[in-house]
Structure 1
Amino acid sequence: MTDTIKSDGAAWDPEEHARNAATRSAALADVPLASPAPRGGIRGVLEHRYLLTLLVKREVTARYTGSFLGMVWSYITPLTQFFMYIFIFALLLGRGKAIEHFAIHVFAALMVVTLFTETIQAGTRSITRNSSLLQKSAMPREMFPVASLLVSIYHLWPEFVILAIALVYTGWSPDLTAVAAGVLGYAVIIVFSLALGLMLSVSQVFLRDTSQMVNVINNFIRFGVPMMYPYSLVASRFHGHTDLYLANPIADAVLLVQRCFWVPTTSDQQETIALHMPDHLFTRGLIALAAALVLLVVAQKVFARFENKIPERL
Structure 2
Amino acid sequence: MTVATNEMIRPGQGRGLLDVYEHRFLLKLLVRKEIKVRYRGSVLGLLWSYVKPLMQFLIYFVALGIFLNLQRGTPNYAIYLFAGIVLVNFFTESLGNATRSIVDNRDLIRKIYLPRELFPVATVWVSAAHFLPQLIVLVGACLISGWTPSLMQLGASLLAFFLVSILATGLGLLFSAANVYFRDSENIVDMILMVVTWASPVLYVWTMVRDAMGPWYWVYQLNPMTVAVEIFHWTFWQPTLKSDQLVPGGTPPDLIILWLPISFGISIVVLFLGQLAFRRSAVHFAQEL
TM over 0.5, shorter chain: yes
Identify the residue that residue 93 of structure 2 maps to in structure 1. Answer: 118
Please give the alpha-carbon distance, in whole angstroms, between the structure 1 residues aligned to 2:272 and 2:67: 46
Contact 1:127 1:144 in 2 (8 A): yes
The partner residue of 2:6 within 32, 49, 52 is: 32
Higher relative contact order (CA 8 A, sep 6+): 2
Deviation at residue 106 of structure 1 after TM alignment: 1.2
Please give the alpha-carbon distance, in whole angstroms, between the structure 1 residues aligned to 2:219 and 2:231: 17
Identify the residue that residue 134 of structure 2 maps to in structure 1. Answer: 159
CA change 1:217–1:312 in 2 (3 A) is: same
Contact 2:139 2:236 in 1 (8 A): no
The 5 Å alignment of 1:182-201 reads 182-201=157-176
Contact 1:184 1:286 in 2 (8 A): no
Identify the residue that residue 202 of structure 1 maps to in structure 2. Answer: 177
For structure 1, the residue ranges without an aligned partner over 5 or more in a row are: 1-27
Please give the alpha-carbon distance, in whole angstroms, between the structure 2 residues aligned to 1:88 and 1:267: 26
The partner residue of 2:229 within 250, 254, 258 is: 254
Amino acid at match of 1:223: W
TM-score of the pair, normalised by structure 2: 0.92
Please give the alpha-carbon distance, in whole angstroms, between the structure 1 residues aligned to 2:104 and 2:250: 42
Identify the residue that residue 285 of structure 2 maps to in structure 1. Answer: 310
Contact 1:195 1:299 in 2 (8 A): yes
Deviation at residue 275 of structure 1 after TM alignment: 4.3
Deviation at residue 179 of structure 1 after TM alignment: 1.2
Deviation at residue 242 of structure 1 after TM alignment: 0.2
Q: Deviations over 1:36-56 (max 9, x none)?
A: 747441110111111111111
Amino acid at match of 1:128: V
Amino acid at match of 1:151: V
The partner residue of 1:74 within 49, 58, 61 is: 49
Identify the residue that residue 218 of structure 2 maps to in structure 1. Answer: 243
Deviation at residue 63 of structure 1 after TM alignment: 1.1
Amino acid at match of 2:180: V
CA change 1:220–1:81 in 2 (3 A) is: closer
Deviation at residue 80 of structure 1 after TM alignment: 3.5
CA change 1:176–1:150 in 2 (3 A) is: same
Contact 2:53 2:85 in 1 (8 A): no
Q: Does 2:217 match 1:277?
A: no
Please give the alpha-carbon distance, in whole angstroms, between the structure 2 residues aligned to 1:139 and 1:57: 17
CA change 1:33–1:165 in 2 (3 A) is: closer
Please give the alpha-carbon distance, in whole angstroms, between the structure 1 residues aligned to 2:4 and 2:240: 68
CA change 1:236–1:33 in 2 (3 A) is: closer
Contact 1:173 1:265 in 2 (8 A): yes
The 5 Å alignment of 1:207-226 reads 207-226=182-201
Contact 2:238 2:250 in 1 (8 A): no
Contact 2:238 2:246 in 1 (8 A): no
Amino acid at match of 2:45: G
Q: Does 2:107 match 1:132?
A: yes
CA change 1:233–1:213 in 2 (3 A) is: same
Q: Deviations over 1:124-171 (max 9, x none)?
A: 111011011112222100000100110111110121121122111111
Please give the alpha-carbon distance, in whole angstroms, between the structure 2 residues aligned to 1:30 and 1:223: 56
Please give the alpha-carbon distance, in whole angstroms, between the structure 2 residues aligned to 1:102 and 1:111: 14
Q: Deviations over 1:257-276 (max 9, x none)?
A: 1111111111128934x843
Q: Deviations over 1:183-223 (max 9, x none)?
A: 22112111011000001111001111100111122111111
2:246 counterpart SS class:
helix
- The farther-off stretch of 217-226 and 29-38 is 29-38
The partner residue of 1:232 within 184, 198, 207 is: 207
Deviation at residue 178 of structure 1 after TM alignment: 1.3
Amino acid at match of 1:198: L
Amino acid at match of 2:254: H
How many residues align structurally?
287
TM-score of the pair, normalised by structure 1: 0.85
Please give the alpha-carbon distance, in whole angstroms, between the structure 2 residues aligned to 1:126 and 1:187: 21
Deviation at residue 84 of structure 1 after TM alignment: 4.3
Identify the residue that residue 21 of structure 2 maps to in structure 1. Answer: 46
The 5 Å alignment of 1:95-106 reads 95-106=70-81
CA change 1:69–1:160 in 2 (3 A) is: same
Amino acid at match of 1:214: V
